[in-house]
């Protein structure tokens, strides 16, 4: 029996996924959670074989929840199920430890197949994402934001949202000087000159809609 923990802030989505799982003889939903805190409560109460994790969660973002899970439960497969298309966040999430990435447009058969694959120790990558990764590798055309570390991307997102360096430092427990250093590093890696160019890039890449790296 494959035990699946479903983490999503929408009750209808949780109910729908639970029904899909219960229709499979060898699968069961061992718990549901609407946010990161509830997810860890579930993990401590019952053994899970795999976690289905949404990215845009209230409070702690899905990206942050993923990193915590991989720290506390390094052998637990985490399968991302998100409304965001693969080219936005999939590569960064796979690097952070996710076992796979699906969009919520995926049909149930694809979801079930992905669950079986990651529980067996593999990784699930859709044909769309595989083609994208291959194209980027051949052409060296990976998006500029993929050059950044997780912390740099987090700060980039906040800068593009109009937050001041002092405000960013306060929220991330960093000194303004450290945030300024990160900003300069971001500009250099992305080949840009100022915050306006960073913001324009984030808008053009559609990366500012309730970013799953910073929460709602």
On the question of pLDDT at 2 being above 50, the answer is yes
- E strand or H helix that includes residue 197: helix 195-204
Q: What pLDDT does 210 receive? A: 47
Tokens of 193: 């000159």
Q: Is 186 found in the same domain as 117?
A: no
Pinpoint the alpha helices (H) of 73-125.
Answer: 86-95, 108-119
Residue 155 lies in a domain: yes
**pLDDT per position as a tens digit, 17-64:** 999 999 999 999 999 999 999 999 999 999 999 999 998 888 888 888
Q: Is 161 found in the same domain as 125?
A: no
Q: Is 156 found in the same domain as 127?
A: no
Domain that includes residue 62, residue range: 2-137
Tokens of 125: 């990558």
Q: Is 172 found in the same domain as 88?
A: no
- What is the CATH number for 66? 3.40.50.2300
Residue 210 lies in a domain: no
Residue 213 contacts residue 157 (beta carbons within 8 Å): yes
Cα separation of 85 and 103, whole Å? 6
- The larger pLDDT score, comparing residue 187 to residue 142, is at 187
Q: Is 79 found in the same domain as 172?
A: no
* Number of domains, the chain: 2
Of 118, 137, 156, the residue at which a domain comes to its end is: 137
Q: Is 176 found in the same domain as 89?
A: no
Of 121, 137, 153, the residue at which a domain comes to its end is: 137
- What is the CATH number for 172? 1.10.10.10
Cα separation of 82 and 126, whole Å? 13
Residue 65 lies in a domain: yes
Residue 129 contacts residue 86 (beta carbons within 8 Å): yes
**pLDDT per position as a tens digit, 144-173:** 887 788 889 889 999 999 999 999 999 899
Residue 216 lies in a domain: no
Residue 100 contacts residue 114 (beta carbons within 8 Å): yes
Residue 21 contacts residue 4 (beta carbons within 8 Å): yes
Q: Is 162 found in the same domain as 131?
A: no
Q: Is 111 found in the same domain as 196?
A: no
Residue 170: alpha-carbon gap to chain centroid: 24
Q: Is 111 found in the same domain as 95?
A: yes
């Amino acid at each position: 029996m494959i035990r699946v923990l479903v983490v999503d802030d929408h009750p209808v989505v949780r109910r729908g996924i639970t029904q899909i799982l219960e229709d499979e003889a060898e699968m069961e939903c061992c718990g549901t959670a609407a946010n990161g805190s509830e997810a860890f409560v579930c993990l401590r109460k019952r053994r899970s074989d795999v976690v289905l994790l949404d990215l845009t969660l209230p409070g702690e973002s899905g990206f942050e929840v993923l990193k915590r899970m991989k720290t506390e439960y390094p052998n637990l497969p985490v399968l991302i199920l998100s409304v965001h298309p693969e080219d936005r966040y999939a590569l960064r999430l796979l690097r952070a430890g996710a076992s796979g990435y699906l969009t919520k447009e995926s049909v149930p058969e694809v979801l079930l197949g992905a669950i079986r694959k990651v529980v067996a120790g593999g990784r699930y990558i859709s044909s769309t994402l595989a083609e994208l990764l291959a194209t980027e590798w051949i052409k060296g055309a990976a998006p500029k934001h993929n050059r950044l570390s997780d912390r740099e991307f987090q700060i980039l997102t906040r800068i593009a949202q109009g937050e001041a360096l002092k405000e960013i430092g306060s929220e991330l427990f960093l000194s303004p000087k450290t945030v300024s250093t990160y900003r300069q590093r971001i500009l250099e890696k992305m080949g840009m000159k100022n915050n306006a160019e960073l913001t324009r890039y984030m808008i053009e890449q559609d990366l500012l809609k309730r970013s799953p790296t910073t929460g709602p």
